[in-house]
Amino acid sequence: MTDRDYARLAGIHPALVEAIVDVLQDMSEWGHPMFVVEGVRTQARQVALYAQGRTTKGPIVTYKDGVHHKSHHQPHEDGYGYAVDCAFVDGNPFAQTHPWERFGQALEKRGLTWGGRWKFFDQPHAELELHPIEEGKKA
């Protein structure tokens, strides 16, 4: 992982950071290096992503508006973000030809949720499951 990857993990829950570091190390060792695309999002960033494909150009990439329905990329009550997006290091980082399933299996092996299993297919997405007791804690 690069310094840029670590910077993009700033504000992410430590358990998720640890798991992502391990997964990206494994993927690199398997010959499929990846990078962190995005960790914590501001409300403004989430609102802009929600607008994409609705009021601005581009495909729809989220169903979380960032205001009424917050993304797990946005900081929770404890101050941490609980989601990270990753992609493959090459000229087409989101290509379907990459071993996304292997990435997803590596995430799930560490107890994370992979967006590649969702109806709204989101292969780059990794998420730490929230536990009600954790969500109510203050940092």
Strand order in the sheet with 125-127: 34-38, 83-88, 125-127, 113-114
pTM (whole model) above 0.85: yes
Residue 113 CA to residue 95 CA, distance in Å, equals: 21
More confident residue, 44 or 133: 44
Q: In order of start, what are the domains of the chain with their CATH numbers?
A: 3-40+75-134 (3.30.1380.10)
Write out the E strands in the chain. Answer: 34-38, 83-88, 113-114, 125-127
pLDDT tens track for 60-111: 999 999 999 999 999 999 999 999 999 999 999 999 999 999 999 999 999 9
Distance of CA 95 to the CA centre of its chain: 17
